[in-house]
Amino acid sequence: MSPPTAISSTAAASTSAPDPDAMLIEVYKLLAQNKLNAAQALADKLVAAYPTFRLGYLVQGDLLMMHNFPVTTFGAAKNAPPDKLKDLRDEARARIKSLSERPNPNLVPRAVLQLRDDQKHVLVVDANRSRLYVYENQAGKLKFVSDYYMTQGKLGVEKIKEGDQKTPLGVYYITSHLPGSKLSDFYGAGALPINYPNEWDKVNGRSGKGIWLHGTPSDSFSRPPLASDGCIVLTNPDLQKISETVEIGKTPVVISEHVEFVTPAKWNEERDSATKLINDWRLDVESKSDSRWLNNYSSKFRSPQGDSLSVWFDKQQALFAGTADLSIKLSDVTVFYYPGKENLLVSTFTQESRFGKNRNVTRKRQYWAKEANRWKIIYEVVI
């Protein structure tokens, strides 16, 4: 991990307002240097810039009390509701920790192995850090753009069912943009719905709906780290910035409990391995050898219709029956390590199959599971 100065703050991306996280860090730095008046002045600027930022007012109040007597705890106001103080303390810890432990800009999120050329950005959510990272796709390489404080479900992550107040883990896509003018004030500047539950959620019995990235009510700048019913909540200014980068139906959202960052060399190595895996599958199918083709699939495989591997495979063979030649071309390939307890890869691609005088084009998604040190396809669906 690099020091906070290793990556420019989100304020660098916007000249309209200062970065509240950076200002909080600076307030505490000034306090550590016994510069109370300077810290007070900066806290005053913070609440002036963000008049609905409750955490800013709490810090400002602590500093005012320090002029008269020692303050030994964060949020020292008397008679304040304990639950509200806890929420603000948790938010302060999450914001400050995310800056002091900010990932090195020379590292990349391991989960994002390959994007399509036309996917300009990817959003990477780290639940443990209460942080959303934005990366730009530059000719297949990932470049850090910005990061934002975010709120997740009250009971954390790994959503299973409707109403469990958890945020799902997985690879999703932005499906639409709902402007704030068409929503209640609760959603603030607007919302970016994602496609939860996706096909992998459904095959694993996960239920629920309406998981969005959205803003905050007009009377509140931000919410505590654990405060939503499962959605990802950002400040309104941050949501507006993110909305400018996303493309409906294209921008992936990778939600992890903990994001692992790796060196470009390690990332390239794993990306090459995943690319080879998928290309080997293509060659095996193209060979029309039953044993080679089947060797790519797990005995636990089930089709979207619930067919076992043998039943599903018979149907696939029938598609190419009687053809002497078969050629397959893959394009617009994406590959991700799928977040969660399972060891999974998910790949999506356009498959163009030519056999005889026939041509068939489909968009397909495969989920690969690691079994005895070998990747096997456990689920495959045409999307």
- pLDDT value of position 16: 62
Tokens 């990349």 appear where? 108
* DSSP output for 257-295: SS--EE-HHHHHHHHHHHHHHHHHHHHHHHHT-HHHHHT
Rounded to 10 deg, the angle between the 36-49 and 20-32 helix axes is 170
- pLDDT value of position 80: 67
Determine what percent of the chain is predicted with pLDDT higher than 70: 92
Pick the CATH number of 264-382 from 3.30.2000.10, 3.20.20.150, 3.10.450.50, 3.30.2350.10: 3.10.450.50
- pLDDT value of position 261: 96
* pLDDT tens string 247-287: 999 999 999 999 999 999 999 999 999 999 999 999 999 98
Pick the CATH number of 108-261 from 3.40.1590.10, 2.30.30.280, 1.10.10.410, 2.40.440.10: 2.40.440.10
- pLDDT value of position 11: 35
Domain residue spans in the chain? 4-100, 108-261, 264-382
Angle at 60 between CA 24 and CA 16, to 5 degrees: 50
- In this prediction the pTM is 0.89
Q: pLDDT-based confidence at 14, cuts 50/70/90?
A: very low
CA–CA distance, 336 with 114 (Å, rounded to integer): 7
231 catalytic residue (yes or no): yes
Token digits for 353? Answer: 């199959």
Statement: residue 55 has pLDDT above 80: yes
- pLDDT value of position 280: 97
Q: Are β-strands 261-262 and 327-338 bridged in parallel, bridged antiparallel, or unpaired?
A: unpaired
* pLDDT tens string 280-318: 999 999 988 899 999 999 999 999 999 999 999 998 888
Determine which one of 67, 177, 231, 258 is catalytic: 231
121 catalytic residue (yes or no): no
